[in-house]
Amino acid sequence: MSRDVDRAIARFDEVLDRLPGGFNNTARTRRISRTVSNAGRRLRRGLYAVAALLAVLLGYTLFVGAIGIGGFLLAALLLPLAFILGMILPLGGAAIETPALKKLPPAELPARTDVWLDARRRDLPRLAAPTLDAISAKLNAIGPQLAAVPAMDARAQDVGRLLNSHLPELVERYRKVPPELRRTPADDGGPSIEARLVEGLKTVDTELARVSENLASDDRDAFLIQGKFLENRYKEPQVGE
């Protein structure tokens, strides 16, 4: 059985190499949007660094004197360096480290977990791509639902434990396994580490779907009750009643 799973992983990698796109358009669109947004932030920061350096040079020229040939050559070196540094330095707030997830309230966890998981996508097997996209889509949906319930609600607490503890532990423990051992079947003939990760992610996806459905049932029931109230309150009596 484990060999079948591992062969499926290998075949899946070969198929992915020939495919032009991903699986979940919504999740992929969010990833592209996030990448474009980060690139824009880096570009603006690089331009701001250049503008700040130019302002310093202009101020020096106005209040001290001409910078001379040496100053000009130094400026020619510093300007592109300032732009490059502005582009390559890490973006503040763009990523979140695993321990920080434990400090977030349940309502903030889905959005931040989505960013956290996307940052680790390259370290995860490509066979997990459909499940990662499904998890991303559910995180996007469950965020507003959690914001509408108290933080101490049992369902919010369940999601909190899932996203700030169980999912990060699953992913981080996988990343610690040497790559050459991830596809090796277990000593007892069981599934490989890679296959176990995929199954674990599917469990996370299933649990998110269950909680989201449970949260949605409250709104659905409230809507039906309100509709019934309006019907009973304002429905005109039929002739002959």
CA dihedral sign of residues 162, 6, 131, 211: negative
Query: Nearest 5°: phi and psi at 41?
Result: -65, -40
Stronger pLDDT, 86 or 53, i.e. the higher one? 53
The pLDDT tens digits of the residues spanning 130-168 come to: 999 999 989 988 988 888 888 888 888 999 999 999 999
Position 241 pLDDT exceeds 80: no
Q: Evaluate whether 193 touches 184 at the Cβ level (below 8 Å).
A: yes
Q: Residue 215 — pLDDT band, cuts 50, 70, 90?
A: confident
Q: Residue 5 — pLDDT band, cuts 50, 70, 90?
A: very low
The predicted pLDDT at position 30 comes to: 60
Q: With 0.85 as the threshold, say if the pTM is over it.
A: no
Q: Residue 193 — pLDDT band, cuts 50, 70, 90?
A: very high
Task: Over range 5-19, report the average pLDDT.
Answer: 50
The predicted pLDDT at position 236 comes to: 62
Nearest to 56 by CA among 79, 39, 88: 79
Position 50 pLDDT exceeds 80: yes
How does the average pLDDT of the chain come out, rounded? 79
Position 205 pLDDT exceeds 90: yes
**For 20-29, 33-42, 93-102, which range has the lowest pLDDT when averaged over its residues?**
20-29
The predicted pLDDT at position 22 comes to: 43
Q: At which residue do the structure tokens 């889905």 appear?
A: 110
DSSP 8-state symbol, 188: T
**For 41-50, 68-77, 89-98, 224-233, which range has the lowest pLDDT when averaged over its residues?**
89-98
Position 1 pLDDT exceeds 70: no
Nearest to 119 by CA among 138, 144, 93, 143: 93
Q: Which residue intervals of 64-179 are DSSP H helices?
A: 68-88, 98-101, 109-119, 129-147, 154-161, 167-176
Position 27 pLDDT exceeds 90: no
The predicted pLDDT at position 19 comes to: 44
Task: Over range 5-33, report the average pLDDT.
Answer: 52
Stronger pLDDT, 222 or 106, i.e. the higher one? 106
The predicted pLDDT at position 31 comes to: 60
